[in-house]
Amino acid sequence: MRSYKGWKPGKFVVKHYRRGDIMDGEAFVLVPERDPAAIVALRAYADTTPDPELALRLRNWADQIDGSCEMTATAAPEVLDKLPSWIASLVAACEAGETTIDRSLWKLAHWMLAER
C-alpha cells in the first residue's frame, strides 16, 4: 500500500490487551517521541477525555517528551501504566490511606474470578 507522508495502513499491528485479537482498522498508532503532531494529539485527547487520571498521564507524557517540565510525582511509574487504570487507582487509594491492601486484594481477586 502507498504511504501518505509516513502514514501507511497496516504499518503497526495493534492487539487488544485483554482479548488478544488484532484491532484491524480500529486503532491508530501515534509515536510522540518521533512526531511533534502526536504530542499535540496527546494534549488534545487529554483536554477532551472524561477520565481525569488518563488526562493527567497524557499531559505528563507530552510534557516529558517535549521538555515542558520534569515528570511530576503524580505521574505513575512504568509498571502502573501496564495495568488497567482501576488497579492503579487501588494502589493510589492504598498509598493515600483511603483503603487497605487486604481490601484492594479482595477487589482484585473478585474481578479476576468474574473474568473467567
Nearest residue to 37 via CA among 13, 10, 5? 5
Long-range contacts of 26-29 (CB under 8 A, 24+ apart): none
Instruction: Write down the pLDDT at residue 71.
Output: 46
Cell readout for 64 is 516529558
- Give per-residue pLDDT as tens, 11-52: 777 888 778 888 877 778 888 888 889 999 999 999 999 988
| CA angle 67–71–77, rounded 5-degree value | 135
Beta bridge partners of 15: 22
Higher pLDDT, 7 or 12: 12
Residue ranges with strand state E in 1-116: none
